[in-house]
Structure 1
Amino acid sequence: MAGGLGPALWLASRGSAVERLAGLQLAGAATVLTLLLLVQAYGPSSAIILPLTLTVLAFAGTLVYARLLGTR
């Protein structure tokens, strides 16, 4: 899961606007999955709030990016 973060960041920083949006989505998903795995392995159960909050924020960030992309 953490190995997917590198290609996602590469895709988010290069290419067309649609490719950057796909990289943003992939980076958000890889980060959330990695954090969920780490919380289940090492953290207390109350730490599950961080990856779940990041899920909502990643989705909201994608909507904002798509809105800005649509105005061009």
Structure 2
Amino acid sequence: MNPWTLAAGAFLVGGGLPGLWLVVRGSAVERLAGLQLTSTMATLGLVAAVIGSGQSSLLIVPLAGVLMSFAGTLVYTRLLGRPS
């Protein structure tokens, strides 16, 4: 257990849980903000976990997560703008 793994846990718990709460319980705009918060904290947690493990080849995982969360945000925003 090193400081990087503790930081990864702090990112996932400290930022992930409030983001998940917004995703589950908020209005449409709050759900979008929760999605952004959760994806950012998950990425930071993954980067800290990879640095803590010392295997820099695993940095592709957070990079792929960033790209997928960006695309998901664009799709969600597009669906919010569509009339029901």
Structure 1: how far apart are the matches of 2:47 and 2:31? 24
> How far is the alpha carbon of 1:31 from its aligned partner?
0.1
> How far is the alpha carbon of 1:47 from its aligned partner?
0.3
Matches within 5 A, 1:11-30: 11-30=22-41
In the superposition, the TM-score normalised over structure 2's length comes to 0.82
Structure 2 match to 1:38 = 49
Structure 2: how far apart are the matches of 1:49 and 1:26? 20
Structure 1 match to 2:59 = 48
Structure 1: how far apart are the matches of 2:54 and 2:20? 26
List runs of 5+ in structure 2 lacking aligned partners. Answer: 1-10
Structure 2: how far apart are the matches of 1:71 and 1:14? 21
Deviations along 1:2-57, one digit per CA (max 9) or x if unpaired, are 21100000001112100000000000000000000000011411100000110010
Q: Which runs of 4+ in 1 moved over 3 A?
A: none
Larger Rg: 2
Structure 2: how far apart are the matches of 1:61 and 1:29? 13
Structure 2 match to 1:8 = 19
Count of aligned positions: 72
Q: Identity across aligned pairs (percent)?
A: 54
In the superposition, the TM-score normalised over structure 1's length comes to 0.95
List runs of 5+ in structure 1 lacking aligned partners. Answer: none
Q: Report the AA paired with residue 45 of structure 1.
A: S
Q: Please tell me the root mean square deviation across aligned C-alpha atoms, in Å.
A: 0.8
